[in-house]
């Protein structure tokens, strides 16, 4: 067993390092990463869109210098930790080296390669989903109550990473309820563990209450702008597509927990998967919302495929071939391993536009996947904001507000702004709404906007002059065409207009 543990940890280390070696350095932080990095400058018990856990890692990132290495370290660590927990499930079943290698390939040649390299709430969420199901597995295997407490702590910490942990918690417990292990519900240790999880989550719950539960506003906005366009068929097909090179591994795991004659103890994990998929279908969840449910299925699948090929080991090599071939084909879709122009040419040559993988939230195909385009154009934007700022005299700069129309813009300008000597940029989008200054002088305005009609809006008449000074010219960036507008010489009417707009935005949160 010690040798297999050594292999598990060696593969986890490789899993941690591999994305650093694969992603092309031309790509910048992702739009969402800028938001979560900004939250590290405003650490609190909660935010509009997410619980507080990621802000702690963002704070540490800033403390360590804020470079790309540190931004990507935390999701990579959660990826390695999730792989280790899944590997422990394999070993607890009696799995050996082939199962661990199959699990490693499933983590490498799948959507997990990208997921665990993005500084977002999803990596810790997937880890805690996996830890939750692992703790129940270990409780069933050992009968030791400590695993119930591990479950409770995992739920509590998971809820501090992403609220969708609640969906899997409900699904897991419903799955247990359908098995003979429903007796855990009459154990005092289960309820004490539940209390521990609740206490861990309580500070964020109180924060939500104090701020009139902004998460509900965020979910309504998400439903109106994105989720309503997601079809159940595309959601289900994406569950296979996200694991295309290795989909048969998790399907084997699902088969194993439901239909294995020799092992019926873990059927709850299969039911949990079914229930969480149903919940997400009803709520029109995005495809990646279900990703936390797969590590356990991949683990059981890897073990089962190893077990049934003991006498026919040639089949193991046959299984590896499609994973490697499809994996290398899919690699440029999992991480941006080439520069944008080369990547776009590759997609065109391979006909990727016919697969739906280049379709953005606007339901149109684009040269690059949306996530990759969300990693481009940000420093160019900040340079051009800095050029507009430097065109002002020192006295004018003291009276200037830098404002951005969305959190990606504001986060990027603040991230790169230190390099270009810029003051803090603001926005009324997402949690940036909470951080707006109360009494900042606003004689001049530098605005980053995607609105081509910005100069025609009524508030422009409050300024003596206003003009577009530049725009984002990177054609592969999602922010391509965004304008930098410089407006000078505002009168008091603009200040009233601005504060009224912010008050209206905040009122929508209640």
pLDDT of residue 317: 87
Per-residue pLDDT of the chain (510 residues; tens, 9 = 90+): 678 999 999 999 999 999 999 999 999 999 999 999 999 999 999 998 899 999 999 999 999 999 999 999 999 999 999 999 999 999 999 999 999 999 999 999 999 999 999 999 999 999 999 999 999 999 999 999 999 999 999 999 999 999 999 999 999 999 999 999 999 999 999 999 999 999 999 999 999 999 888 888 777 777 666 666 678 888 888 899 899 999 999 999 999 999 987 778 999 999 999 999 999 998 888 888 999 999 999 999 999 999 999 888 888 888 889 899 999 988 999 999 999 999 999 999 988 888 878 988 887 899 999 999 999 999 999 999 999 999 999 999 999 999 999 999 999 999 999 999 999 999 999 999 989 987 777 899 999 999 999 999 999 999 999 999 999 999 999 999 999 999 999 998 898 888 888 888 777 766
Count the Cβ atoms, other than its own, within 10 Å of residue 274.
15
Confirm if 30 and 121 have CB atoms less than 8 A apart: no
Q: How far apart are CA 416 and CA 153, in angstroms?
A: 37
Q: Six-digit token pair at 1?
A: 């067993």
Q: Six-digit token pair at 248?
A: 């048969």
pLDDT of residue 299: 97
pLDDT of residue 505: 77
Q: How far apart are CA 49 and CA 387, in angstroms?
A: 32
Q: 138 to each of 37, 133, 153, 226, how far by Cα in Å?
A: 36, 9, 15, 38
Those residues with Cβ within 8 angstroms of residue 161's Cβ, 6 or more apart along the chain or in another chain: 50, 51, 53, 54, 121, 124, 125, 128
Residue whose entry in the numeric block shows the structure tokens 């930790």:
81
CA 51 to chain centre: 13
Residue whose entry in the numeric block shows the structure tokens 């420093």:
379
pLDDT of residue 509: 66
Q: How far apart are CA 377 and CA 27, in angstroms?
A: 9
pLDDT of residue 442: 84
Q: Six-digit token pair at 246?
A: 């290795």
CA 30 to chain centre: 10
DSSP assignment of 58-95 equals: HHHHHHTT--HHHHHHHHHHHHHHHHHHHHHHHHHTT-
Those residues with Cβ within 8 angstroms of residue 6's Cβ, 6 or more apart along the chain or in another chain: none
The stretches of 31-67 forming alpha helices (DSSP H) are: 31-39, 53-63
The full length of the chain comes to: 510
Q: How far apart are CA 7 and CA 243, in angstroms?
A: 23
Those residues with Cβ within 8 angstroms of residue 193's Cβ, 6 or more apart along the chain or in another chain: 148, 149, 151, 152, 153
Q: Six-digit token pair at 182?
A: 């429903």
Q: Six-digit token pair at 30?
A: 């992702």
DSSP helix/strand/coil, 282: helix
Q: How far apart are CA 507 and CA 501, in angstroms?
A: 10
pLDDT of residue 224: 65
- Nearest CA to 402 out of 485, 479, 320, 510 is that of 485
Q: Taking the model in full, what pTM does it have?
A: 0.94
Q: How far apart are CA 206 and CA 229, in angstroms?
A: 33
């Amino acid at each position: 067993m010690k040798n297999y543990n050594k292999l598990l940890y060696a593969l986890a280390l490789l899993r941690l390092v591999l994305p650093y070696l694969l992603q092309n350095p031309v790509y910048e932080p992702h739009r969402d990463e800028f938001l979560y990095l900004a939250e590290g400058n405003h650490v609190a018990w909660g935010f509009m869109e997410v619980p507080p856990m990621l802000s702690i890692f963002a704070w540490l990132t800033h403390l360590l210098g804020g470079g790309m290495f540190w931004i990507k370290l935390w999701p990579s660590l959660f990826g390695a930790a999730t792989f280790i927990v899944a590997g422990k499930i394999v070993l607890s079943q009696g799995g050996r080296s082939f199962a661990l290698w199959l699990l490693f390939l499933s983590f490498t040649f799948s959507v997990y390669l990208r997921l665990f390299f993005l500084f977002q709430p999803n990596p810790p969420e997937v880890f805690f989903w996996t830890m939750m199901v692992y703790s129940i597995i270990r409780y069933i295997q050992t009968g030791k109550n400590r695993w119930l407490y591990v479950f409770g702590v995992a739920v509590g910490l998971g809820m501090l990473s992403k609220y969708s942990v609640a969906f899997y918690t409900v699904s897991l417990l419903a799955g247990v309820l359908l098995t003979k292990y429903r007796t855990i519900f009459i154990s005092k240790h289960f309820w004490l563990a539940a209390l521990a999880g609740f206490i861990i989550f309580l500070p964020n719950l109180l924060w939500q209450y104090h701020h009139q539960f902004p998460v509900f506003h965020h979910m309504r906005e998400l439903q109106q702008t994105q989720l309503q366009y997601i079809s159940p068929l595309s959601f289900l097909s994406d569950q296979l597509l996200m694991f295309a090179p290795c989909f048969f591994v998790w399907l084997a795991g699902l088969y194993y927990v439901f239909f294995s004659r020799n092992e019926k103890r873990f059927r709850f994990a299969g039911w949990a998967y079914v229930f969480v998929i149903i919940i997400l279908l009803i709520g029109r969840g995005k495809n990646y919302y279900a990703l936390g449910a797969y590590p356990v299925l991949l683990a059981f699948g890897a073990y089962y495929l190893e077990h049934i090929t003991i006498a026919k080991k040639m089949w193991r090599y046959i299984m590896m071939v499609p994973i490697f071939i499809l994996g290398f084909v899919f690699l440029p879709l999992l991480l941006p391993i080439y520069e944008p122009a080369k990547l776009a040419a590759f997609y065109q040559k391979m006909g990727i536009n016919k697969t739906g993988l280049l379709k953005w939230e606007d339901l149109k195909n684009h040269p690059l996947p949306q996530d990759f385009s969300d990693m481009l154009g940000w420093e160019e934007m900040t340079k051009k904001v800095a050029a507009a700022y430097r065109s002002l005299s020192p006295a004018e700069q003291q009276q200037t507000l830098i404002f951005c129309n969305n959190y990606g813009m504001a986060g990027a300008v603040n991230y790169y702004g230190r390099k270009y000597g810029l003051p803090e940029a603001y926005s009324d989008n997402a949690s940036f709404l909470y951080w707006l200054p109360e009494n900042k002088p606003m004689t001049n305005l530098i605005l980053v906007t995607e609105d081509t009609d910005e100069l025609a809006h009524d508030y422009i008449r409050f300024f003596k002059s206003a003009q577009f000074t530049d725009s984002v010219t990177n054609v592969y960036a999602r922010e391509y065409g965004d304008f930098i507008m410089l407006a000078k010489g505002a009168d008091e009417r603009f200040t009233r207009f601005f504060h009224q707009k912010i008050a209206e935005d905040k009122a929508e949160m209640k």
